[in-house]
Chains A and B, each alone.
Chain A
Amino acid sequence: MLVFKQLTLENFGPYFGKQKLIFPSKKGVIIIRGKNGRGKTTIMNALRFVLFGSVKLSGRKNIDLVQYLNIISKTKGNFRYKVILDIELDGKSYEITRLLSPKPGLLCPETINDYQFPEALIKETTESGEQKVLIDSEVKRILNQIMDEHVARFYLFDGELLKEYESQLMGEQDVGAAKIKEGIENILGVPILKNACEQIDVCLDQYSRNFELIIQSNKETEKLGIAITTANTKRESCKIDVQELNSDLSEIRNELSQIQNKLENSILNQEAIKEQAKLQKDIENFNKKIEEKKEQRISELRSTWKGLLSPILQAKKGEINSEIKNSNQIISEREKREKYIEELKTSLNNNRCKLCNQLLDTEASLNLKEQLDKCDCDDLSDSDLKITKDLLLTLQNQSKYIDDFTKDNSTEKICIIESEIREIQTKLLFAKKDLEDTNQEVESMSLSLSEYQSLIDQRDLLKKKEKSSTDGLEKTQKTIKEIEENVKKLEIQLNHVSNDGEVENAKRQRDFVTQLRDLVQNGISQYQNDLKKRVEIDATSLFIKLSDEKEYNKLKINENYGLEIIHKDGEVIPLRSSGYEHLVAFSLIGALHKNAPLQGPLFMDTSFGRLDQENSQNLIRVLPELSEQVILLVHDREIDEERIRGLIPSAIKAKYQIERVSSRESKLKLIEDNV
C-alpha cells in the first residue's frame, strides 16, 4: 500500500518559500480548489518532478525545468527549488527529495545546462525513528515500485492530456503503446514472473552444460557428447543471431512506426488544414454576424429610450384619462345649464312655459326668475370654461401622444439582440481556441514536399531491411530447429550407447528444468490473459456505473490495455466523445488500482471539464472506489462543492484553497480538515 503523507514545495512554480500540502491518512477525497493559473497543475508537475526528475506533457515533450523556478525567488538571487514527498510504502516511511540547483560556481544560471541533474535522494525512517539515506540502487527500486513513468498519467490524471494517451493505447503498433503496456504490466506485477523465468533460463543453461560435460567425460559417449556440444554451441550462436536480428527488427519497426506516424500525420495534416480553413471561415462569419448584430443594436437603441418610458407613460395615461373625464363632465354640465337658462329666459320673455306652453301667472314668473338668478350665481365663468377646455385639449393631446409613443416600443428586442451577441461571442471564443489548437497541430505536423519524399524513401528502405531481417530470422530459426532435431537424434543414439547412471541423472535434471521453464512461460502468458480479463471486467463494471448511456454495456480490452466501448448489439463504438474518453480512462484507472499489487493515491486535475452534469455526478459517486486516496484539483466553476458533499457526504477528508498573493505567488491554505 502506497500512501502520500505530505508534499513540500520550495520555490517551485508560483509557490514562493516553503509550502506544505498534508494529506490526511484516512481513506477519502481531498479537494484542492483554485482559479485558473493559480498552480493546480503545478502541484501535479511537482509530483512528476520529484518522482521522475522531469515533467513530460503533451506530445511526450519534456518541459524545461528552469521554468518552474519561482520568479520572486529568482529576483532575490536564489536559483534553487526543491520538492519533498513524504510517503508510506508497505508500512515503511520514506522521504523523497529532488532539488534543482545550479552547477557549483555558477551564480546566475540561465539554461538547464547550467544546472546539476536533479538526482532523487530517499531517506528511510527506521523503526527507531532515525533517518537512513538509501543507496542509488535502492532509490531506483523504490521509485520504480511507486510509479511507472509511462503510466503516471493514470495516477496523476490530467484531463487535458488524456486524448493523446488514449490514442497511443489504441494504436497497437505504436512504440509508445508498447511502453505503456509494459508500464501497466509493471504496476500489475508481471515483471516479477518474467524475472523468475529468466532465472530458470540461467539454471537451464547450467544443467545443459553439466549434461554435456558428463557425456564428454565418458569414453563410450565422448564422440556423441562432442557432437551434441558442437550442435548446442551452434544453436546458442544461432540464438544470439536471433536475438540480434530481433533487436534489429525491433529497431527497424520502431523507426518504421515513427516514419509511418509522420506520414499519417501529414495526411492528417490535410484534415487539420481543412479544419483550420473551416475555423477561419467560422471566425470570419461570427465576426460578421457580431458586426451585423451591433448595427441592429445601434438601430434598436435609438428607440430603446421609448421602451424605457412606456410603462411610466402608460401609468400616467390612467391619470390623464381620469382628468379628461372630469373636464368633459364639467363642460357637459355647463352646456346643460346653458340650455336650461336659455329655456328659462325664453319662457319669461314669452310669458309662456316652454315645456308645457301654458301662460305664466305671477307666481310662476317669480319662481322662474328666482331659478334664473340661482343658475347665474352657480355658473362657471367663461374664462374658467376656457381654461377647462384648454386643459381638456392638452390632456387629449397627451393621451394621444402616449398612445402613439407606446405603440411598438418594447425593450424585448434589445434584450434579444444582446443575448444573440453574447451567444455569438461565446461561439467565437471557442472557435478561436480551436483554431489556436489546430494551428499548433498543423505547425507540428507540417512537412515540405522534399521532407515527405525523403520519408517515403526512408520507409521503403526500412521495409527492405525489415524483409531482409525477417528472412534472416526465419532462416536462423529454421537452422535452430534443424539443430534441435539433430540434437534429439544424437540424444536417442546416446540412450542406446550409454548405460551410465550419471549421464541419465544429468539428462533428467536438464529435462526437468526445461519443463519447468516451459511451465512458467505458459503461466506468465496465462497470467497476462487473466489479468487483462480481470481489468476488462472491473473496468466494465465501473464504466456501467459512470456512463448514463444504457446501450453501452461493455468495455473490451486490447493487447495494449486500451479499451473499446461495446454497444449492447455487440458493435464497437468507433468515434467516442471527449467526455466518453474520460469515462473510459477513469474506468481503466479504477480497474488498474483494483488489480495492482501496490495500491496507491490518485490525483485528478480538471477532470470534470468535459463531462456533462449526469456523468460528473456518476464520477463523484465512484470516486471513493477508484482509490483509497483521491486528490481532486478543481477550479471554482468546474464543480459545485455542495454537489460533491451531497453525493459522497462523509468521503471529503480535507480541503485546500490555492490563494492568490500576486500574479507570481500563490499560497496553499488548509480550510477544512475532517480527520
Chain B
Amino acid sequence: MVTIGLTTDADHIINELKDHFGFGSSSDMALFAFSYAVRNNLPRVPISGTQTKWGTSTFNVTDFEMIINICYPDNEEDLVTVFRDLIHAGIFKINEIMRDNPDLKISDIIS
C-alpha cells in the first residue's frame, strides 16, 4: 500500500495550521497546502525522515495525479513523492507567513 509521510516538524505545523484555520482534518489542510504550493509555483522542499501520516486512500489519487500531470507536464518523478513534497512546501510557506501575521485568515491566503 502506498503511503504519504510527513516530517515531525511538518506534522506539528500541519496540526497547528488545521486548528488555526478551522479545517476539519489534517488531510484537508494538507490538500490546501498542496494547492497553495502549486498555485504559487513553490519549489519542492527536499524531504528526509518522514513518518507515515496517511494512506493514499485518504486522498483521491486521481485528483493529485491529474493536477501534477497538468501543472508539471515535464515531471518524471513518482507522483506520490511530488505530492508529499508539495504538501511540505505549502505548509512551511503558510507557517512562515503566519509567523509575521498571527491573525492570518484563510481569506487572506486565497485572496
Which A positions have Cβ atoms within 8 angstroms of B? Answer: 294, 297-299, 301-302, 304-309, 311-313, 316, 320, 394, 398, 401-402, 405, 411, 414-415, 418-419
Task: Contacts A308-B35, A309-B38, A309-B39 given; indicate if A418 touches B28 (C-beta within 8 A).
Answer: no
B31 — which chain A residues lie within 8 A by C-beta?
A: 305
Q: Please name the residue on chain A nearest to B29 by beta carbon.
A: A301
One of B2-10, B45-53, B62-70, B76-84 at the interface: B62-70
Contact B110 A298 (CB under 8 A): no
**What separation, in Å, do the CA atoms of A373 and B21 have in the docked complex?**
68
Known: A301-B32, A304-B32. 17 other contacts (CB 8 A): A298-B23, A298-B28, A301-B22, A302-B24, A304-B106, A304-B110, A305-B28, A305-B31, A307-B110, A308-B35, A309-B38, A312-B39, A316-B71, A320-B70, A398-B66, A398-B70, A419-B107
Contact B67 A308 (CB under 8 A): no
Contact A301 B24 (CB under 8 A): yes
Q: How large is the interface on B (under 10, 10 to 19, 20 to 34, 35 or more residues)?
A: 20 to 34
Contact B107 A316 (CB under 8 A): no
A301 — which chain B residues lie within 8 A by C-beta?
A: 21-24, 28, 32, 106
Q: Provide a sorted-by-A list of 18 A–B residue pairs whose CB atoms are within 8 angstroms.
A: A297-B22, A298-B22, A298-B24, A301-B21, A301-B23, A301-B28, A302-B24, A304-B106, A305-B32, A308-B36, A309-B35, A312-B38, A313-B71, A316-B70, A398-B70, A405-B66, A414-B106, A415-B111
Contact B35 A305 (CB under 8 A): yes
B32 — which chain A residues lie within 8 A by C-beta?
A: 301, 304-305, 308
B106 — which chain A residues lie within 8 A by C-beta?
A: 301, 304, 414, 418
- Say yes or no: is B105 at the interface (Cβ < 8 Å to chain A): yes
**What separation, in Å, do the CA atoms of A294 and B34 have in the docked complex?**
23
Q: Please name the residue on chain B nearest to A311 by beta carbon.
A: B39
Contact A418 B69 (CB under 8 A): no
A405 — which chain B residues lie within 8 A by C-beta?
A: 66
Contact B24 A306 (CB under 8 A): no
Quick one: which of B71-111 are within 8 Å of A by CB?
71, 105-107, 110-111
Contact B39 A308 (CB under 8 A): yes
**What separation, in Å, do the CA atoms of A20 and B59 have in the docked complex?**
66
Contact B70 A418 (CB under 8 A): no
**What separation, in Å, do the CA atoms of A305 and B87 have in the docked complex?**
12
A419 — which chain B residues lie within 8 A by C-beta?
A: 107
Which B positions have Cβ atoms within 8 angstroms of A? Answer: 21-24, 28, 31-32, 34-36, 38-39, 66-67, 69-71, 105-107, 110-111
B28 — which chain A residues lie within 8 A by C-beta?
A: 298, 301-302, 305
Could you say which of A312, A320, A415 contacts B107, with CB atoms under 8 Å apart? A415
A302 — which chain B residues lie within 8 A by C-beta?
A: 24, 28
Q: Please name the residue on chain B nearest to A313 by beta carbon.
A: B70
Task: Contacts A304-B32, A411-B110, A418-B105 given; indicate if A294 touches B66 (C-beta within 8 A).
Answer: no
Q: Please name the residue on chain B nearest to A414 by beta carbon.
A: B106
B35 — which chain A residues lie within 8 A by C-beta?
A: 305-306, 308-309
**What separation, in Å, do the CA atoms of A311 and B111 have in the docked complex?**
12
Task: Contacts A302-B28, A398-B70 given; indicate if A415 touches B110 (C-beta within 8 A).
Answer: yes
Q: Please name the residue on chain B nearest to A297 by beta carbon.
A: B22
Closest Cβ–Cβ distance, residue A392 to chain B (whole Å)? 15
A306 — which chain B residues lie within 8 A by C-beta?
A: 35
A312 — which chain B residues lie within 8 A by C-beta?
A: 38-39, 71
**What separation, in Å, do the CA atoms of A306 and B110 have in the docked complex?**
11
A316 — which chain B residues lie within 8 A by C-beta?
A: 70-71
A-B pairs, 6 with minimum CB distance: A298-B24, A305-B35, A308-B35, A415-B107, A411-B110, A305-B31
Contact B70 A402 (CB under 8 A): yes
A299 — which chain B residues lie within 8 A by C-beta?
A: 24
**What separation, in Å, do the CA atoms of A313 and B64 have in the docked complex?**
13
Closest Cβ–Cβ distance, residue B29 to chain A (whole Å)? 8
Closest Cβ–Cβ distance, residue A498 to chain B (whole Å)? 98
Of A298, A308, A411, A418, most B-chain CB atoms within 10 Å? A308
Closest Cβ–Cβ distance, residue B71 to chain A (whole Å)? 6
Q: Please name the residue on chain B nearest to A316 by beta carbon.
A: B70
Q: Please name the residue on chain B nearest to A302 by beta carbon.
A: B28
B21 — which chain A residues lie within 8 A by C-beta?
A: 301
B110 — which chain A residues lie within 8 A by C-beta?
A: 304, 307-308, 411, 414-415
B71 — which chain A residues lie within 8 A by C-beta?
A: 312-313, 316
Of B21, B22, B36, most A-chain CB atoms within 10 Å? B22
Of B36, B39, B111, most A-chain CB atoms within 10 Å? B39
B23 — which chain A residues lie within 8 A by C-beta?
A: 298, 301
**What separation, in Å, do the CA atoms of A305 and B24 have in the docked complex?**
13
**What separation, in Å, do the CA atoms of A163 and B36 have in the docked complex?**
52
Q: Please name the residue on chain A nearest to B107 by beta carbon.
A: A415
Task: Contacts A304-B32, A306-B35, A308-B32 given; indicate if A414 touches B107 (C-beta within 8 A).
Answer: yes
Q: Please name the residue on chain A nearest to B66 by beta carbon.
A: A401
A313 — which chain B residues lie within 8 A by C-beta?
A: 67, 70-71
**What separation, in Å, do the CA atoms of A309 and B36 have in the docked complex?**
8
A309 — which chain B residues lie within 8 A by C-beta?
A: 35, 38-39, 67
A297 — which chain B residues lie within 8 A by C-beta?
A: 22
Closest Cβ–Cβ distance, residue A603 to chain B (whole Å)? 35
A394 — which chain B residues lie within 8 A by C-beta?
A: 69
Contact A294 B39 (CB under 8 A): no
**What separation, in Å, do the CA atoms of A428 and B71 have in the docked complex?**
44
**What separation, in Å, do the CA atoms of A294 and B110 have in the docked complex?**
18
Q: Please name the residue on chain A nearest to B109 by beta carbon.
A: A308
Closest Cβ–Cβ distance, residue B36 to chain A (whole Å)? 6
Closest Cβ–Cβ distance, residue B17 to chain A (whole Å)? 11
